[in-house]
Amino acid sequence: MRRSDLGEFEEVVLLAVAVLVPKAYSVMIAEELERETGQTVSTGAVHAALQRLEQKGYVTSVMGEATAERGGRRKRLFTVSALGGRVLTEVRSVRNRLWERIVPPTLLEWS
């Protein structure tokens, strides 16, 4: 797996895209991440991550229809690609395997 080319922020942005399809655009993604993390997330950071993810082939995008809420401007809508889906599945598998190997008393020590 080429895990090293997917940063942590890119990973959560990619997950948010998967959650929000068909309405996955930068503002909605930032709002979703803020809800989930309780942290402020700038749309600029989301834009940058989406560009990197698209360059890597993990997401694809299309221009949506113009909307009145955006003053007639169109939104760029993102979807997870087949490659992006495989990467997410592999990342999840790695994390799950590692979590399963933690001895329960270790968890108690973190409290």
Domains contained in the chain, number: 1
* First-residue to last-residue Cα distance in the chain: 33
Burial level of 58, CB count in 10 A (0-12/13-18/19+)? buried
| Of residues 50 and 66, more confidently modeled | 50
**CA 19/CA 60 separation, integer angstroms:** 15
Higher pLDDT: 74 or 39? It is: 39
Predicted pLDDT at 29: 98
CATH of the domain at 36: 1.10.10.10
pLDDT per residue over 55-111, tens digit each? 999 999 999 887 777 677 889 999 999 999 999 999 999 999 998 888 776 666 766
Dist CA 100 CA 109 (whole Å)? 16
What residues make up the domain containing 81? 3-109
* 68-81 residue pLDDT tens: 776 778 899 999 99
